Amino acid sequence: MSDADRSVEIEVLRYRPEQEDAPVWQRYTVPYSDDLSVLQALQHVKDELDGTLSFRWSCRMAICGSCGMMVNGKPALSCQTFVRDLLPGPVRIEALAHFPIERDLVVNVEGFVRKLESIKPYLIPKHPRTLAQGEYRQTPEQLEQFEQFSSCINCMLCYAACPQFGLDPEFTGPGVLALLHRYNADSRDGGRAQRMEVLNAEEGVWSCTAVGYCSEVCPKHVDPANAVNQNKVNSAKDYFLRFLSPKGAT
Protein backbone atom coordinates (compact mmCIF):
# COMPACT_ATOMS: atom_id res chain seq x y z
CA MET A 1 0.00 0.00 0.00
CA SER A 2 1.47 3.37 -0.95
CA ASP A 3 1.65 6.25 1.51
CA ALA A 4 -1.14 8.00 -0.44
CA ASP A 5 -3.67 5.33 0.58
CA ARG A 6 -2.67 5.11 4.22
CA SER A 7 -4.23 6.98 7.07
CA VAL A 8 -3.66 7.30 10.80
CA GLU A 9 -6.03 7.90 13.68
CA ILE A 10 -5.43 11.01 15.81
CA GLU A 11 -7.18 11.53 19.14
CA VAL A 12 -7.20 15.04 20.52
CA LEU A 13 -8.32 16.14 23.97
CA ARG A 14 -10.82 18.90 23.17
CA TYR A 15 -11.93 21.55 25.63
CA ARG A 16 -14.33 24.27 24.53
CA PRO A 17 -15.27 26.15 27.71
CA GLU A 18 -18.49 27.53 26.22
CA GLN A 19 -19.57 24.01 25.25
CA GLU A 20 -18.30 21.54 27.88
CA ASP A 21 -17.36 21.53 31.56
CA ALA A 22 -14.55 19.00 31.19
CA PRO A 23 -12.30 18.00 28.26
CA VAL A 24 -13.41 15.20 25.90
CA TRP A 25 -11.48 13.05 23.43
CA GLN A 26 -12.24 13.50 19.76
CA ARG A 27 -10.97 11.23 16.98
CA TYR A 28 -9.86 12.27 13.48
CA THR A 29 -8.52 10.29 10.54
CA VAL A 30 -5.57 11.95 8.83
CA PRO A 31 -3.78 10.90 5.59
CA TYR A 32 -0.42 9.36 6.48
CA SER A 33 2.93 10.14 4.96
CA ASP A 34 6.37 9.10 6.10
CA ASP A 35 7.40 12.68 6.91
CA LEU A 36 4.16 13.67 8.68
CA SER A 37 4.85 15.44 11.97
CA VAL A 38 2.28 15.53 14.76
CA LEU A 39 1.97 19.29 14.15
CA GLN A 40 1.25 18.69 10.43
CA ALA A 41 -1.40 16.14 11.39
CA LEU A 42 -3.09 18.78 13.55
CA GLN A 43 -2.79 21.35 10.76
CA HIS A 44 -4.51 18.87 8.42
CA VAL A 45 -7.34 18.51 10.94
CA LYS A 46 -7.72 22.29 11.24
CA ASP A 47 -7.49 23.00 7.49
CA GLU A 48 -9.53 20.08 6.13
CA LEU A 49 -11.66 18.49 8.85
CA ASP A 50 -12.46 20.76 11.78
CA GLY A 51 -11.58 24.45 11.80
CA THR A 52 -12.56 24.81 15.46
CA LEU A 53 -9.48 22.94 16.74
CA SER A 54 -7.14 25.33 18.59
CA PHE A 55 -3.39 24.90 19.05
CA ARG A 56 -0.26 27.06 19.10
CA TRP A 57 2.58 26.79 16.63
CA SER A 58 4.97 29.02 14.76
CA CYS A 59 8.38 28.01 13.44
CA ARG A 60 7.97 24.26 12.59
CA MET A 61 11.68 23.78 13.35
CA ALA A 62 11.97 23.33 17.11
CA ILE A 63 13.23 26.78 17.96
CA CYS A 64 10.17 28.92 18.81
CA GLY A 65 8.94 26.69 21.64
CA SER A 66 5.25 27.24 20.85
CA CYS A 67 3.99 23.77 19.90
CA GLY A 68 4.68 21.78 23.07
CA MET A 69 1.97 19.23 23.90
CA MET A 70 1.53 15.79 25.40
CA VAL A 71 1.95 13.19 22.64
CA ASN A 72 0.99 9.71 23.84
CA GLY A 73 1.39 11.00 27.40
CA LYS A 74 4.91 12.44 26.96
CA PRO A 75 5.77 16.14 26.73
CA ALA A 76 7.06 16.84 23.21
CA LEU A 77 7.41 19.55 20.57
CA SER A 78 4.81 18.44 18.03
CA CYS A 79 6.86 19.83 15.13
CA GLN A 80 9.76 17.47 15.77
CA THR A 81 7.68 14.44 16.73
CA PHE A 82 6.92 12.22 13.75
CA VAL A 83 3.83 10.08 13.36
CA ARG A 84 5.97 7.31 11.77
CA ASP A 85 7.54 6.74 15.20
CA LEU A 86 4.11 6.37 16.83
CA LEU A 87 2.51 3.79 14.51
CA PRO A 88 0.12 2.05 14.38
CA GLY A 89 -1.73 4.68 16.40
CA PRO A 90 -4.04 6.11 17.44
CA VAL A 91 -1.81 9.04 18.41
CA ARG A 92 -3.22 10.68 21.53
CA ILE A 93 -2.60 14.42 21.80
CA GLU A 94 -3.34 16.49 24.87
CA ALA A 95 -2.47 19.99 26.06
CA LEU A 96 0.79 20.30 28.04
CA ALA A 97 0.27 18.60 31.40
CA HIS A 98 0.09 20.61 34.66
CA PHE A 99 -1.03 23.84 32.97
CA PRO A 100 -4.64 25.08 32.98
CA ILE A 101 -6.28 24.42 29.59
CA GLU A 102 -7.74 27.56 28.01
CA ARG A 103 -9.04 25.79 24.90
CA ASP A 104 -8.17 22.45 23.27
CA LEU A 105 -4.34 22.33 23.14
CA VAL A 106 -3.83 25.92 24.25
CA VAL A 107 -2.66 26.30 27.84
CA ASN A 108 -2.51 29.32 30.14
CA VAL A 109 1.12 30.52 30.35
CA GLU A 110 0.52 33.56 32.57
CA GLY A 111 2.15 31.97 35.62
CA PHE A 112 5.19 30.96 33.60
CA VAL A 113 5.67 34.45 32.16
CA ARG A 114 5.26 36.02 35.61
CA LYS A 115 7.97 33.72 37.02
CA LEU A 116 10.22 34.39 34.04
CA GLU A 117 9.98 38.15 34.65
CA SER A 118 10.66 37.70 38.38
CA ILE A 119 14.18 36.30 37.84
CA LYS A 120 15.34 39.31 35.76
CA PRO A 121 16.38 37.22 32.76
CA TYR A 122 18.93 39.65 31.39
CA LEU A 123 22.49 40.66 32.18
CA ILE A 124 22.73 43.12 35.05
CA PRO A 125 26.21 44.69 34.74
CA LYS A 126 28.42 44.75 37.84
CA HIS A 127 29.40 48.33 37.04
CA PRO A 128 28.01 50.80 34.52
CA ARG A 129 29.91 50.39 31.28
CA THR A 130 30.24 52.78 28.38
CA LEU A 131 30.51 51.82 24.72
CA ALA A 132 34.02 53.27 24.69
CA GLN A 133 35.11 50.59 27.15
CA GLY A 134 34.51 48.03 24.43
CA GLU A 135 33.12 44.51 24.56
CA TYR A 136 33.12 42.10 27.47
CA ARG A 137 35.63 39.30 27.14
CA GLN A 138 35.12 35.76 28.34
CA THR A 139 37.31 32.69 28.31
CA PRO A 140 35.91 29.44 26.81
CA GLU A 141 35.68 28.12 30.40
CA GLN A 142 33.55 31.10 31.49
CA LEU A 143 31.32 30.58 28.44
CA GLU A 144 30.89 26.89 29.21
CA GLN A 145 29.59 27.71 32.70
CA PHE A 146 26.32 29.07 31.28
CA GLU A 147 26.18 28.19 27.57
CA GLN A 148 24.01 25.05 27.81
CA PHE A 149 21.48 26.84 30.04
CA SER A 150 21.15 29.65 27.51
CA SER A 151 19.71 27.18 24.98
CA CYS A 152 16.30 27.26 26.67
CA ILE A 153 13.47 28.15 24.24
CA ASN A 154 10.76 28.55 26.94
CA CYS A 155 8.75 25.64 25.50
CA MET A 156 7.66 24.55 29.01
CA LEU A 157 8.01 20.81 28.29
CA CYS A 158 10.01 20.59 31.53
CA TYR A 159 7.01 21.95 33.45
CA ALA A 160 4.78 19.30 31.90
CA ALA A 161 7.38 16.73 33.07
CA CYS A 162 7.57 18.06 36.63
CA PRO A 163 5.08 16.55 39.11
CA GLN A 164 6.13 19.06 41.77
CA PHE A 165 4.93 21.88 39.49
CA GLY A 166 1.71 19.93 38.87
CA LEU A 167 1.16 19.60 42.62
CA ASP A 168 2.15 23.18 43.41
CA PRO A 169 1.72 25.65 40.53
CA GLU A 170 3.61 28.27 42.58
CA PHE A 171 6.87 26.29 42.21
CA THR A 172 9.19 28.49 40.12
CA GLY A 173 9.93 25.36 38.12
CA PRO A 174 12.79 23.86 36.09
CA GLY A 175 12.88 26.14 33.03
CA VAL A 176 12.84 29.47 34.86
CA LEU A 177 15.34 28.25 37.49
CA ALA A 178 17.64 27.05 34.68
CA LEU A 179 17.48 30.54 33.15
CA LEU A 180 18.10 32.08 36.57
CA HIS A 181 21.26 29.95 36.76
CA ARG A 182 22.19 30.93 33.19
CA TYR A 183 22.52 34.59 34.31
CA ASN A 184 23.98 33.90 37.76
CA ALA A 185 26.67 31.71 36.18
CA ASP A 186 27.66 34.38 33.66
CA SER A 187 30.92 36.14 34.53
CA ARG A 188 29.57 39.41 33.05
CA ASP A 189 26.57 39.46 35.37
CA GLY A 190 26.29 41.21 38.72
CA GLY A 191 22.62 40.53 39.50
CA ARG A 192 23.06 37.41 41.62
CA ALA A 193 22.00 39.04 44.90
CA GLN A 194 18.74 40.21 43.30
CA ARG A 195 17.92 36.70 42.08
CA MET A 196 18.81 34.79 45.25
CA GLU A 197 15.49 35.75 46.84
CA VAL A 198 13.59 33.79 44.17
CA LEU A 199 16.06 30.92 44.32
CA ASN A 200 16.06 30.64 48.14
CA ALA A 201 12.27 30.71 48.51
CA GLU A 202 10.37 27.52 49.31
CA GLU A 203 8.88 27.82 45.81
CA GLY A 204 12.46 28.17 44.50
CA VAL A 205 14.98 25.33 44.30
CA TRP A 206 13.75 23.69 47.51
CA SER A 207 10.46 22.58 45.94
CA CYS A 208 12.44 20.32 43.59
CA THR A 209 12.69 16.67 44.69
CA ALA A 210 15.13 15.66 41.93
CA VAL A 211 12.69 13.65 39.85
CA GLY A 212 14.91 14.52 36.88
CA TYR A 213 12.32 14.02 34.13
CA CYS A 214 12.64 17.70 33.11
CA SER A 215 16.12 17.03 31.76
CA GLU A 216 14.92 13.92 29.88
CA VAL A 217 12.23 15.76 27.92
CA CYS A 218 14.16 18.99 27.23
CA PRO A 219 14.46 19.30 23.42
CA LYS A 220 17.50 21.57 23.77
CA HIS A 221 19.54 19.53 26.29
CA VAL A 222 19.51 22.36 28.80
CA ASP A 223 19.52 19.92 31.75
CA PRO A 224 17.35 22.06 34.07
CA ALA A 225 17.57 19.42 36.84
CA ASN A 226 21.30 20.14 37.03
CA ALA A 227 20.74 23.90 37.21
CA VAL A 228 18.14 23.53 39.98
CA ASN A 229 19.98 20.97 42.11
CA GLN A 230 23.42 22.56 42.05
CA ASN A 231 21.72 25.72 43.27
CA LYS A 232 20.46 23.95 46.39
CA VAL A 233 24.13 24.06 47.44
CA ASN A 234 24.35 27.76 46.52
CA SER A 235 21.13 28.46 48.43
CA ALA A 236 22.40 26.62 51.53
CA LYS A 237 25.71 28.54 51.33
CA ASP A 238 23.79 31.80 50.95
CA TYR A 239 21.80 30.94 54.08
CA PHE A 240 24.66 29.86 56.34
CA LEU A 241 27.37 32.24 55.18
CA ARG A 242 25.23 35.28 56.02
CA PHE A 243 26.10 34.52 59.65
CA LEU A 244 29.77 35.01 58.80
CA SER A 245 29.44 37.97 56.47
CA PRO A 246 26.99 40.82 57.04
CA LYS A 247 26.59 41.19 53.27
CA GLY A 248 25.73 37.53 52.69
CA ALA A 249 27.47 35.08 50.39
CA THR A 250 27.22 36.85 47.11
Measured between alpha carbons, how far is 212 from 174 in angstroms, rounded to an integer?
Answer: 10
- Minimum Å gap between C-beta 213 and other proteins is 5
Measured between alpha carbons, how far is 65 from 203 in angstroms, rounded to an integer?
Answer: 24
Residue 159 interacts with other proteins (CB under 8 A): yes or no: no
Can you tell me which of 36, 223, 235, 238 binds other proteins, judged by CB under 8 A? 223
Question: In angstroms, how far is CA 115 from the centroid of its own chain?
Answer: 12
Residue 145 interacts with other proteins (CB under 8 A): yes or no: yes
x/- track of binding to other proteins for residues 2-31 (CB under 8 A): -------------x-x----xx--------
Any idea of the CA torsion for 169, 174, 180, 185, to the nearest 10 degrees? Answer: 160
Measured between alpha carbons, how far is 183 from 168 in angstroms, rounded to an integer?
Answer: 25
Residue 141 interacts with other proteins (CB under 8 A): yes or no: yes
32 or 99: CB nearest other proteins: 99
3-state secondary structure of 77: strand
> Is residue 54 packed enough to be buried (19+ CB in 10 Å), middle (13-18) or exposed (0-12)?
middle
Residue 232 interacts with other proteins (CB under 8 A): yes or no: yes
Q: Which of residues 78-107 bind other proteins (CB under 8 A)?
A: 97-98, 100-102
Measured between alpha carbons, how far is 107 from 101 in angstroms, rounded to an integer?
Answer: 4
Residue ranges in contact with other proteins by CB under 8 A: 15, 17, 22-23, 73-74, 97-98, 100-102, 108, 141, 144-145, 163, 166-167, 209-213, 215-216, 223, 225-226, 229-230, 232-233
